[in-house]
Amino acid sequence: MKTLIIGGVAGGASCAARLRRLDERGEIIILERGEFISFANCGLPYYIGGNIRGKANLTLQTPQSFKARFNIDVRIFSEAISIDSARKVVTVKNVITGETYEESYDNLVLSPGAFPITPNIEGADSEKVFTLRNIPDTMKIKGYIERENPKSAVVVGGGYIGVEMAENLKKAGLEVTIVELSDHLIAPLDFDMATEVHRYVKAQGIRLILKNGVTAIKESDRNLQIHLNNGCIEADMVIMSVGVRPDTALLKDSGVALDGRGSIIVNSNMQTNIENIYAVGDAVSVKNFVTNAPAFIPLAGPANKQGRIVADNICGIPSEFEGTQGSSVLKLFDMTVATTGLNEKSAKDAGFDFDKTYTYSASHASYYPDATMMSVKVLWDKATHKILGAQIVGFDGVDKRMDVIATAIRLGAKVTDLASLELCYAPPFSSAKDPVNMVGFVAENVITGKLKQFFWHDVENLPRDSSVTLLDTRTAIEVARGKIDGFMHIPLDSLRERIAEIPKGKPVYVHCHSGLRSYIACRILTGYGFDCYNLAGGYRFYESVINEKSVPEYICTEC
C-alpha cells in the first residue's frame, strides 16, 4: 500500500508517523513545497522575541530523522500542482529546478494548511510588510529586525498570532501598536472579558487602536505611513495578522469538494467526497463539537488528532473525528488567556437559550504566597444545563482550570457537575474550593433559584427612583475609590443591624467588589423577605467593562 501525503507540519507529519507505527511495510511519501516539515509552528513568534533561541529548536523533525526513525520518504521543495483522482496520480513540481513528474498513490492525504490573508490594499506588498506562517517568514522578520534596527511596528489584527507577535516585538525592543477592526482583541473572547486584556496590554506599553482598519500603507523617506479608516500612524514595519484561509488552490480542478470558504469538506473519518482521498488540518471544514455545525477552527491539536484518525482508517481501524470545540490558550507577557466552546455571540447565532456566570477566584489558597486572581466566565444551556463555553483571563493556573472545563464539555457535563469534581488540592496549587468548583456552586445557586443575577449591561437601565433599592455592600475605603451612581452604601458586616434602612416590598439590586459579599448580602436579605439580585462579577468587572466602553475612538494624526 502506498500513501502519498501533501504537506507536513502537524496533520501530515502525525499521519505519516502513525501510519508507520501501524504498517511497517507500506510505502509512505510526504511532499513538502518548503524546506521544513514538522516544525514548531506555534513557537514562531517566541523565536522572534528571543524566548526560543536557535533556529534548530523550531524544527521537530527533519527529512533525515523521518527516514531514520520511520522509513518515510520526505521530499522537500516538492510542490503538488495537480491531482488526477481517476488515475490516482499527483503531478509534482521541484520548486528549485522547475522539473515536474507524476507520483502514483493508493491513498492520498491532503494537509496543505492555511495561508495568512493579505488585504487587497495599497502597499501590502512592501518589503517592510510581513506575515507569519512558517520558518522562512520567521527568519525574514528576525533578519529585518537585526539588520535594519526598526524602532516601531504596527501589528494589523488582534487575534492570537497578532497579540503574540505584539508581545514578542515589544520584547525585541520595538514600540508596538495593534490595529484591530473589531471592538476587542482575541475574537473567541466576549468584549467584557477582553477588557481586562486591553488594560493589561496597554499597561505593558503596547498601544491599542480598536474599531479601526488599515486602508493603505505608503512608504515615506523615513518609514511607513499606515492609513486607517480614521487617521494615520507611522511605523518602521508592519505585521499583517488578519486571519488565514485554507490553502486549497491545488484542488481547483481535482473534483475534491470545497465549501464557500475554500475548506475541504470531509466526513467524520476525515475522508473527502473522493474515495481514498483524505484531508486534515487547517485546510478542512470541521464540525463544531458544541453546535454540530460546520466550522473553520485552525488549531494544531485537532490537526494532530485528525492525522492519527486518517492513518487508522487507511489501515482498517474504524476511527472518527468528533469535532472541535476550539480550546485554546494564549500567553501574553505574564497574563494567560484561555477559551473553549462558544462565546455569547456564537451561542446566540447557534440559537441557544443560555445563562452565564462570572466568578473571580484565586489561583491557590490566598494565605499561601503569590496567589493571583482569575476571571472566569461560563455559559450553559438553560434547558439541559450543559456547558456551552468558557473564558478565563488571569495569570497562574488559568490553563489547568480551562483544561478541566474543556474536558467537562467534551464529556457532556452539566455546569452543576463542576461543583462535585474532586480536584487536586494543596495550598501552593489550589484552594479547597477550586475555581472550577466555584463555577459549579454559583451556577447551581442560579439554577435552583438561590441566586438571582443582573449583569454589567443591565446597570444603566436600572431605575434610579423609589421603585427599587440599589445597594453597595463594599467597605467605605472601596467606595471612596469609585462607585456606581444611585447605589446606597451599607457595608455587608453592618447589613443586619441596618436592615430597617432598606424599604420593604421593593426589589434590591446589590453589588460588592467581586460578587461574593453581595451574594451573602442577598441571602441575608432573602431571609428577611426581600427580592434580591446580585451583580455578577461585581464592581471590579463592571468598572473594567464600562471604562473600556467609554474610551474615546482613537483618532491618529501622525502622518
The end-to-end CA distance of the chain, in Å, is 62
Interhelix angle 398-410/435-447, rounded to 10 degrees, is 50
Strands (E) across 24-138 are located at 27-32, 37-39, 59-61, 73-76, 78-84, 89-94, 100-104, 107-110, 114-116, 129-130
- Please give the Cα distance from 465 to 479 (Å, whole number): 21
- What is the distance of C-alpha 430 from the center of its chain? 24
Cβ neighbours around 36 below 10 Å, total: 21
- Please give the Cα distance from 179 to 155 (Å, whole number): 6
Instruction: Count Cβ atoms within 10 A of the Cβ of residue 542 and give its class: 0-12 exposed, 13-18 middle, 19 or more buried.
Output: buried
**Bridge partners (DSSP) listed for residue 102:** 91
Q: Which residues are catalytic?
A: 42
369 Cβ contact partners less than 8 Å away, ≥ 6 residues apart? none
473 Cβ contact partners less than 8 Å away, ≥ 6 residues apart? 490, 491, 492, 495, 510, 511, 512, 517, 518, 521
Cβ neighbours around 288 below 10 Å, total: 19
Pairing of strands 335-341, 387-394: antiparallel
Residue 461's SS3 state is helix
Q: Which residue is associated with the grid cell 511607513?
A: 224
Residue 541: phi and psi, rounded to 5, are -75, -45
126 close to 224: Cβ distance less than 8 angstroms:
yes
Quickly list DSSP for 315-344. TT-------B---EEEEETTEEEEEEE--H
- Please give the Cα distance from 470 to 507 (Å, whole number): 9
Strands (E) across 342-466 are located at 354-362, 373-381, 387-394, 453-454
Pairing of strands 277-279, 354-362: unpaired
* Alpha-carbon distance values, 181 to 57, 168, 175, 213, 273 (Å): 34, 21, 20, 5, 37
